[in-house]
Amino acid sequence: MTLMSSLENEIHQREFRNEYHKALVNILHTSSYVINKMNDLFKNFDVTRQQYNVLRILRGQHPGHASVLDIRERMLDKMSDASRIVERLRVKGLVTRAFGVKDKRSVEVTITQAGLELLNQMDEHVNGMEDLLGHIDAAEISQLNMVLDKIRPEKYFSTKEKLVV
């Protein structure tokens, strides 16, 4: 009798084509697990993960601003509509928007004091998310980070050598 791994038990799948297939499924399953934990946390503060990401980006620019284009480029979820997210945050009073001084077509976004206060309230809870990894030692965490970085080939291959998926 073969013991099933945690992944196999959790998704009720006994076999994978190979270890690479299993690793991809495991990454997706783990990503969903972490995202669901984050979504649950952010619901308590009436923001989405994407809104939190925008607020975090803007806190890093404070007291300055960032354009919607800059925000879009820095967001973790590249499929997000940054303009729509910024508008929802503006309606909540967490950011302000203004047309650019030099380029009237650009929109400059600044976090408000209310946005900063919300992030300060959230910090302890968000930092607590690291507890999900608390049972992994420092060497394993370093190795995990290295392996995860290797999955994104842009870091390791020139433009001509990029993997095609």
Domains of the chain: 6-44+137-161 (no CATH), 49-123 (1.10.10.10)
Q: Tokens for 145, please give them.
A: 């980070």
In this structure, is the dihedral angle defined by the CA atoms of residues 144, 147, 152 and 158, taken in order, positive or negative?
positive
Q: What is the mean pLDDT of residues 36-62?
A: 95
Average pLDDT, the chain: 88
Which residue, chain included where needed, has tokens 């945690």?
6
At 165, the pLDDT band (50, 70, 90 cuts) reads very low
- Give the predicted TM-score (pTM) of the model: 0.81
Q: What is the pLDDT of residues 56-100, one digit of tens each?
A: 999 999 999 999 989 999 998 877 799 999 999 999 999 999 887
Written as one letter, the residue type at 21 is H
